[in-house]
Amino acid sequence: MSRKKIQSALISVYHKDHLEPLLKLLDDQHVTIYSTGGTQKFIKELGIEVTAVESVTGYPSIFGGRVKTLHPKILGGILSRRGYEGDRKELAEFQVPEIDLVVIDLYPFEETVAAGAGEEDIIEKIDIGGISLIRAAAKNYKDVVIVSSREQYGHLQRLLEEKQGCTDLEDRRFLATQAFQTTSHYDTAIFNYFNRNTGIRALKISENRVRTLRYGENPHQQGAFYGGLDKLFEQLNGKELSYNNLVDIDAAISLVEEFDNEIFFAILKHTNACGAATGKTVHEAYLKAFEADTVSAFGGVLGTNYRVDLPAAEEIHKLFFEVIVASSYDEDALELLKSKKNRIILLQKEKLNGDKIIKSLLNGIIEQDKDLKTDKREDLKQVTKRQVTGEEVDALLFASKVCKHTKSNTIVLARNGLLIASGVGQTSRVDALNQAIKKAESFGLSLKGAVMASDAFFPFPDCVEIAEKAGIQAVIQPGGSVRDKDSIDYCDAHGMAMVFTGYRHFKH
């Protein structure tokens, strides 16, 4: 029969919180309870009758508690098939009690690793018996109910209350599915811990935290975010985050975090900066960033690495935008920004972490290291006769940081602390440069004395020629073309300065 009544339960959990109501319900429904160790003591202290596992197996807990429930009389009681006559005979022959419900909460392996515990403590938090019991009960879901984590205590309690101590096959199969999710996630965490330095080429990802999004990139696509977003942000205002919001927020934060020791403000659209600037205040940095492209800023995602005060908020408030991310907000600034109910306001609580990028591709998954290289002064190799000035170096490094976070092919035109214009996502570097020049001209921004950054080398001297004629005086690029000398010669002939970094920054 599909519906089965629970008459016996094995309960062995690490976390005891929220377990008491379930125990009392099982006791009220006259369920025989088996337990061991700390869980047995906890149940007994509640005044609930409990049978020690040791009295069933005839063995005490041994090897410092490593072996308690791994015994044929326990695993047999879980795995025996109720409808098989042969199994029933063996239950009787070997005096194995049937177990209808298994409640397990595993040792906190991930939490122990995250807390920075030593190797010995971490190893002892690898649950062996619990995993075995979960898998056994889940395999025999036609006859046995498995609860594999403390998050499911309440679910089982409601189920047993509604069905007078019984479960249906679909209930048991659902809980078995959750159980295999629990064990696979647990094993993934253990493997990834052991594989930190061994270099076994296998990709193991498991994430239980999920946020269903309104839709994906477009309304006809479903979307979800897997991960601990609440650990990174506190949402202070606004509607639910969308897929596109999250993609742009990631791009904004990645760019903002390039600027550690100066106030920086960025405005992004479709992951590319349309405005970026440093300033003495957030107010100044925002205005500089906004004035570089007052059109694209509409509906953008805003990010800064400093506290947003009221003067900054008063200017920002005039713009329609989707999201703002900042490290903190003054109370009066926040009150003003929150006056638009749909405006998403995020407080960033910690920096981004992780050193890998992973995405689906073709019929598999592609992985690479994150581009964590930021071009610095010591990376610059002077390749032209004219040396770059100190001011030009600052401007070139600023341009390089923005360029690194812009879609290839890209050219970034800048002054020190100010993005003037960029050409993004073009099929040729010449097109990207022409796009940037045209954009700067459309906003009446002079390029005289500006600098240029390229995400990759110039295969021909055409880009430095176009740039020089537009007024650009200094260039930063990776170098590495077989025709680098052609670009260098043009710069030398026209009084331009150029430096190579040796690092390409493609972004697709």
Active site residues: 139, 270
**Of 72, 118, 109, the residue nearest 191 (C-alpha):** 109
Helix (H, G, I), strand (E, B) or coil at 351: coil
**Of 460, 456, 451, the residue nearest 483 (C-alpha):** 460
| Terminal Cα-to-Cα distance of the chain (whole angstroms) | 56
Q: 227: exposed, middle or buried (C-beta count within 10 Å: 0-12, 13-18, 19+)?
A: middle
Q: How far apart are CA 75 and CA 70, in angstroms?
A: 7
Token pair 């008491």 in the structure block, residue: 20
Q: 363: exposed, middle or buried (C-beta count within 10 Å: 0-12, 13-18, 19+)?
A: exposed
**Of 250, 348, 342, the residue nearest 299 (C-alpha):** 342
β-bridge partners, 300: 321
Helix (H, G, I), strand (E, B) or coil at 111: helix
Cα angle for residues 288, 413, 394 (degrees, 5° grid): 75
| 409 upstream amide cis, omega within 30 of 0 | yes
